[in-house]
Amino acid sequence: MNILLNNHQNKVPVSEELMDLVKKSITAALNYENIFEKVEVSLLFIDNDEIRELNKEYRGVNLPTDVLSFPMYDDISEALEEEYLYLGDIVISCEKAIEQAKDFGHSVEREIGYLTVHSVLHLLGYDHMNEEDKAIMREKEEEILKKVDLER
């Protein structure tokens, strides 16, 4: 398993402990789905200005958001037999994560862990466009977050 992490912003300090938590969260999500070893995921921390630009470019929404996922595959099941699996990219706004952690009354670590797990599930093809899919995704998120000691 190869996890590429990069901090591309300087507004919020990103500690080694937070980077380790992100790696642990990605690993837990992939292990939960029985996908490991031959996998690569990229995660980039950015600020609100940069994520707003990406959100505008890729989703047509000119506002900052918390996280964006860029899956490499439309249907991950077709790619599972490949020798090496590059799942895609995740970008997280550290500023937005701090805002949301305050709004939800939990730690920044819990918020970033949640956003990471949420996005890995998106890279694996899960979505929350209808209530049934949302319930499945939420259940998986909570189970994975328990494994990294970030449950609610």
Report the pLDDT value the prediction gives residue 8, as an integer from 0 to 100: 95
Distances (CA, A) of 4 to 1, 7, 26, 40: 10, 10, 11, 8
* 101-146 confidence digits (pLDDT tens): 999 999 999 999 999 999 999 999 999 889 999 999 999 999 999 9
**Mean pLDDT along residues 19-24:** 97
Domain residue ranges of the chain, discontinuous segments joined by +: 2-147
| Predicted model pTM | 0.94
Give the right CATH number for 2-147 from 3.30.300.30, 3.40.390.30, 1.10.10.10, 3.30.530.20.
3.40.390.30
Phi, psi of 49, rounded to the nearest 5 degrees: -65, -45
113, two tokens: 């862990």
Q: Which residues contact 44 (CB under 8 A, 6 or more apart)?
A: 5, 6, 7, 8, 89, 90, 91, 92
Distances (CA, A) of 87 to 65, 74, 115: 21, 10, 16
pLDDT bracket for residue 37 (50, 70, 90): confident
Report the pLDDT value the prediction gives residue 96, as an integer from 0 to 100: 97
Phi, psi of 34, rounded to the nearest 5 degrees: 60, 40
Q: Order of strands, edge to edge, in the sheet holding 85-93?
A: 2-7, 39-46, 85-93, 67-71
* 38-97 confidence digits (pLDDT tens): 899 999 999 999 999 999 999 999 999 999 999 999 888 878 778 889 999 999 999 999
Report the pLDDT value the prediction gives residue 36, as an integer from 0 to 100: 72
